[in-house]
Amino acid sequence: MPTATRTRSRRLPTKQQLDTWRAFIETTEELRSALAARLQAESGLSPSDYAVLLALHDAADHCVRSSVLATTIGWQRSRLSHHLGRMERRGLIDRQECSTDSRGAEIVLTPTGHAAFRRATVPHLRAIRELFVDALSPDQLEAVQDVTAALRARSGFAPPQGGTSPA
């Protein structure tokens, strides 16, 4: 590591940098909360429901192994298992024995789940436009994209999944 980078990394953030960090975190949480509330009110789906339905919608044949689904949405398997149980009781998904490995389960988007996802998507995208996209200029949107790419690269986070992002 070059000396300049190592020295810069050891210094604590300035007050202005901490204020920027705090504003970023608080604004992100407020935005996620507002999007979640609108999603729930307009569709009856939670952001967690939407994340699962989105991943299944984007998967080949609307079916994916539970372990792959957990990785795709960034959840621990136990959290996913509990949530899938609730979604299954509501008829949004089915769990089926994996045809290639009896130890695994495949999660399948049901017609009810597909319909719920379709009903939720347009209002959810409208809320994203109103609360996020329309608040920023094209240059600011590009800057946000650059910032998130830099943070992901520095932290080693996986690139975002394609498709319609959940709240």
pLDDT in tens, 52-62: 999 999 999 99
CATH number for the domain harbouring residue 120: 1.10.10.10
Assigned domain for 128 exists: yes
Mean pLDDT (whole number) for 22-27: 96
Assigned domain for 124 exists: yes
pLDDT at 8: 62
pLDDT at 3: 57
Assigned domain for 166 exists: no
Residue 157: pLDDT band with limits 50, 70, 90: confident
Instruction: Say if residue 24's pLDDT is above 90.
Output: yes
Instruction: Say if residue 160's pLDDT is above 70.
Output: no
pLDDT at 10: 81
Assigned domain for 84 exists: yes
Coil vs helix vs strand at 164? coil
Assigned domain for 38 exists: no
Radius of gyration in angstroms for the set of CA atoms belonging to the chain, rounded to a whole number: 19
Average pLDDT score, the chain: 90
Assigned domain for 57 exists: yes
- Structural domain tally of the chain? 1
Assigned domain for 81 exists: yes
Instruction: Say if residue 121's pLDDT is above 70.
Output: yes
In terms of residue numbers, what domain contains 76? 46-144
* Residue 79 identity: R
* Residue 85 identity: G
- List the Cα angle 48/157/155 in 5-degree steps: 130
Assigned domain for 13 exists: no
Full strand arrangement of the beta sheet holding 63-65:
63-65, 105-109, 93-97
Span 64-86, pLDDT tens digits: 999 999 999 999 989 999 999 99
Mean pLDDT (whole number) for 37-58: 97
Mean pLDDT (whole number) for 22-31: 96
